[in-house]
A and B are shown apart, each in its own frame.
Chain A
Amino acid sequence: MSFNDRIAQGLESGWKVIDGATLTENHTAEADVVIVGTGAGGGTTAEILAKSGLSVILVEEGRLYYQKDFKMDELTSYANLYQEGMSRTTKDGAIAILQGRCVGGSTTVNWTSSFRTPDETLNYWSKRFGLDGVSPEAMAPWFDGRETRHSMAPWDTAPNLNNDILRQGCEKLGFSWQIIPRNVKGCWNLGYCGVGCPTNAKQGALMTTIPGALDNNASMYHGLRAERFVMNQDRIDSLEATAMASDGITPTSVTVTLKARHFVVAASAIGSPGLLLRSKLPDPYERVGKRSFIHPVNASVAQMPKLVDPFYGAPQSVYSDEFNFSSGVDGDAGYKLEVPPLHPAMSAGVVPGHGDEQAKNLAGLPWMQSVIALVRDGFHEDSPGGTVSLRDDGSPMLDYPVSDYLWKGLRRAFYTMAEIQFAAGADKVRLMHLDSDWYSTWADAKAAIDGFAMEPHRVRLFTAHQMGGCAMGSNPEESVVNGFGEHHHVSNLSVHDASIFPTSIGANPQLSVYALAARNSSRLAQRLKA
């Protein structure tokens, strides 16, 4: 079968794409700019710089997967497209980390929700971190531009029932709700965004900026792990990288040395601090890897009287911000309410349990509905975030202690989610907590939540949004890069990904990453062309 998708055609037409697994000898390559990472930040940067006429090399640790590989199968996708084969967690194992590891990064596997950075967040950044350049007014044209580039628009098809139940519950309780903007073009409404879009409808980096960069003569290595920068006085001289075997896991003995005038790191809020730490770049105030944020997520599942089929249809189309900023930007922990898609492996991993009881839980999947709460972390002194550090083998890990402030927010979110599900007509509700039973009434659920021990492991926690760790700010004593992503101490290094966020966003972060990367890349292009 021949494919005529964007990637297959590009490869056919002679794109410079190099699979690390095919390399047999060490070599050196050079460009104006080397970009580490091919996700929201790296892809945007590569396209803008390449279109400006600069020569660009992209480096991706994961492999290139595209339509031919996207067969709507959870197990193969989780194994190949996600960090650590979907087993990544925080240091203590208490929070599951869902994060992409492939060309396109998390944009290849995200659920397409496309929110602007909330005004409250941008205003807080301006005020608290001296980032006047990222006011809502200053950022508006960049959001506009990226919304066009990635075909982002509120979902104009009816939400699936999984999402509509969130809407119904909010309506009943008088909570606000909205339709989610999605980055899709000609979407088939199948529901498989999380395992690689099978129809190429999703306009993530894989279908937009990566092809845009490669069409403009950029080169891309995939299956190549950025190990460390080599400094020469106050500048980076080169990047040392290791080729990975075709399993994507095993390093080979082949080393690639990449030289450039300028380097851009966009390897994610875990990967970027990891690379900077491994490289021992100047960090006089020890800010690298600090203040890492994750929008800690807890969840509730409901058994509905009608078939929900939560595995079909656009995975996220309805959200509620009723509780996101209701206590002010820096008051009690706020949370955004959304819905996750539920396929069998995902559900089996999220709903804790074993034995006959678990068999029964899973047998009820077609009637299952779920709400998730994404807690806005980093806006309060009792929410200082986590820390990225290096394991003995040099790989990065995130330690994220959940503070009492956040536990309180998570408990409030449990109440809200259960109340919404009952209001929407749920027969039973179960909170994702090891001590939760199925509850038949809101009163029973409420009483049970009152007594929950809010502790790591007992509360099932997740994150799909990793942010911070190379924070931007005007003050080098409390940040790693300036308001344009330029490193405070290394003159030819920029950071263009979610790691520069000084707090979490309060919304799914892809558009925040795209917009800041576009703004900072346009400036970088001018600087390098000058």
Chain B
Amino acid sequence: MTDPLSPTDELDSLCLDRRSFLRTGLGGALFLGTVSLTAGLSGCATAPAGRLGAVDTRMDARYQFQFLSADDIELLEALLPAILGSALPEQANARRIAIAGTVERIDMGIHKFGPANQKELRQLFDLLNFGLTRVTIARVWPAWRDATAEQADAFLQRWRSSSIGLFNNGYIALTKISNVAFYGHQENWQLSGYPGPPDWAVQALPQFRSA
């Protein structure tokens, strides 16, 4: 939408992003460079998961992912039990459905964030998904699919209490998109004691009547 970027600039902005999520301090840019370069070698972008088989993913097979990659989904499946805590149902099947639905709504929300914030989140997710940075920056040793809720919680606590603003920002980003997608969903309104729009108003308003 602006002046055409030169090929070099474009490569720079896509693959070795100068506005990297961890631009300052602690050599973060070095790590991020590694992540992005790796992503670059495999096509410069982490592909959205698209439509995943229900068997593989425990998801609604009809849902078409627009932003989250298969790795992102594993990451969120590991983080959501720690983020949502006792708000998630205990019963195994209900719990799986609640997590899967939240992941889908996170994807829908991020689609509407638009390109600029998608790029920021892509960097954050790549950083957390890439083994070297997961271990060195997030300090989570196992792959996310093998991480326990305690390990996920410890990671969140570290980023929350860190004196490095960028980690605080990462903590807020992860918890905010998850909490909003979860508590904002009609089926979960009861968890915050919210009865929903007043029934008398719903009855009286034309937009709630079916055609």
Minimum C-beta distance from A261 to chain B (A) = 26
Q: Supply 7 further A-B pairs (C-beta < 8 A) apart from A71-B208, A199-B205, A365-B192.
A: A2-B206, A84-B117, A87-B177, A93-B173, A345-B180, A355-B86, A362-B183
Choose, from B1-9, B44-52, B90-98, B126-134, the stretch at the interface: B1-9
Minimum C-beta distance from B32 to chain A (A) = 16
CB-CB nearest in chain A for B170: A93
CB neighbors of A among B137-153 (8 A):
153
> Is B205's CB under 8 angstroms from A278's CB?
no
> Is B85's CB under 8 angstroms from A356's CB?
yes
**Is A94 at the interface (CB under 8 A from chain B)?**
yes
**Is A137 at the interface (CB under 8 A from chain B)?**
no
**Is A242 at the interface (CB under 8 A from chain B)?**
yes
> Is A359's CB under 8 angstroms from B201's CB?
no
Minimum C-beta distance from A354 to chain B (A) = 4
* Chain A positions 346 through 367: 1 when the CB is less than 8 Å from some CB of chain B, otherwise 0: 0111001111111110111110
* Chain A positions 26 through 69: 1 when the CB is less than 8 Å from some CB of chain B, otherwise 0: 00000000000000000000000000000000000000000111
CB neighbors of A among B162-206 (8 A):
165, 168-169, 172-173, 175-186, 188-189, 191-194, 196-198, 201-202, 205-206
- Contacts known (A84-B116, A357-B85, A365-B192); A434 close to B183, Cβ less than 8 A: no
> Is A344's CB under 8 angstroms from B188's CB?
yes
> Is A394's CB under 8 angstroms from B1's CB?
yes
- Contacts known (A352-B175, A353-B175, A359-B84); A75 close to B105, Cβ less than 8 A: yes
**Is A188 at the interface (CB under 8 A from chain B)?**
yes
> Is A1's CB under 8 angstroms from B209's CB?
yes
User: Which of B165, B189, B192 is close to A457, meaning CB atoms less than 8 Å apart?
Assistant: B165
CB-CB nearest in chain A for B161: A434
Inter-chain contact total with CB atoms closer than 8 Å: 193
- Contacts known (A363-B191, A393-B2); A249 close to B165, Cβ less than 8 A: no
> Is B109's CB under 8 angstroms from A391's CB?
no
**Count of chain B residues with a beta carbon within 8 Å of a chain A beta carbon:** 62
**Is B83 at the interface (CB under 8 A from chain A)?**
yes
10 of the cross-chain contacts (CB-CB < 8 Å) are A1-B209, A67-B207, A74-B184, A92-B169, A199-B205, A347-B183, A355-B153, A356-B85, A365-B194, A366-B192
**Is B113 at the interface (CB under 8 A from chain A)?**
yes
* Chain A positions 388 through 401: 1 when the CB is less than 8 Å from some CB of chain B, otherwise 0: 00111111010000
A68 to B161, alpha carbons, bound, how many Å? 44
> Is B109's CB under 8 angstroms from A365's CB?
no
**Is B82 at the interface (CB under 8 A from chain A)?**
yes
- Contacts known (A87-B117, A345-B184, A355-B153); A311 close to B194, Cβ less than 8 A: yes
> Is B182's CB under 8 angstroms from A348's CB?
yes
CB-CB nearest in chain B for A251: B1
**Chain B residues, CB < 8 A from A348:** 176, 179-180, 182-184, 192
A395 to B19, alpha carbons, bound, how many Å? 15
> Is A75's CB under 8 angstroms from B184's CB?
yes
* Chain B positions 19 through 40: 1 when the CB is less than 8 Å from some CB of chain A, otherwise 0: 0000000000000000000000
- Contacts known (A75-B185, A92-B169, A192-B197); A359 close to B85, Cβ less than 8 A: yes
Minimum C-beta distance from A368 to chain B (A) = 9
> Is A355's CB under 8 angstroms from B207's CB?
no
**Chain B residues, CB < 8 A from A395:** 1, 114-116
| Range for the number of chain A residues in contact with chain B | 35 or more
> Is A247's CB under 8 angstroms from B111's CB?
yes
> Is B184's CB under 8 angstroms from A71's CB?
no
**Is B59 at the interface (CB under 8 A from chain A)?**
no
- Contacts known (A75-B185, A355-B83); A349 close to B197, Cβ less than 8 A: no
User: Which of B82, B179, B193, B207 is close to A349, meaning CB atoms less than 8 Å apart?
Assistant: B179
> Is B207's CB under 8 angstroms from A344's CB?
no
**Chain B residues, CB < 8 A from A249:** 111-112, 114
**Is B211 at the interface (CB under 8 A from chain A)?**
yes
**Chain A residues, CB < 8 A from B61:** none
Minimum C-beta distance from A269 to chain B (A) = 17
Minimum C-beta distance from A403 to chain B (A) = 16
**Is B87 at the interface (CB under 8 A from chain A)?**
yes
Interface-central residue, A190, A343, A392, A395, by most chain B CB under 10 Å: A392
**Is B57 at the interface (CB under 8 A from chain A)?**
no
A246 to B210, alpha carbons, bound, how many Å? 23
User: Which of A85, A343, A359 is close to B114, meaning CB atoms less than 8 Å apart?
Assistant: A85
**Is B108 at the interface (CB under 8 A from chain A)?**
yes
> Is B206's CB under 8 angstroms from A67's CB?
yes
**Is A130 at the interface (CB under 8 A from chain B)?**
no
**Is B136 at the interface (CB under 8 A from chain A)?**
no
A75 to B112, alpha carbons, bound, how many Å? 11
Nearest 8 Cβ contacts at the A-B interface:
A345-B184, A85-B112, A394-B2, A457-B168, A355-B85, A348-B179, A348-B183, A359-B87
**Is A338 at the interface (CB under 8 A from chain B)?**
no
User: Which of B5, B156, B169 is close to A94, meaning CB atoms less than 8 Å apart?
Assistant: B169
Minimum C-beta distance from A460 to chain B (A) = 8
CB-CB nearest in chain A for B79: A354
Interface-central residue, A79, A248, A360, by most chain B CB under 10 Å: A79
**Chain B residues, CB < 8 A from A365:** 192-194
User: Which of B108, B169, B178, B183 is close to A79, meaning CB atoms less than 8 Å apart?
Assistant: B108
> Is A75's CB under 8 angstroms from B109's CB?
yes
A161 to B137, alpha carbons, bound, how many Å? 45
A510 to B57, alpha carbons, bound, how many Å? 47
CB-CB nearest in chain A for B173: A93
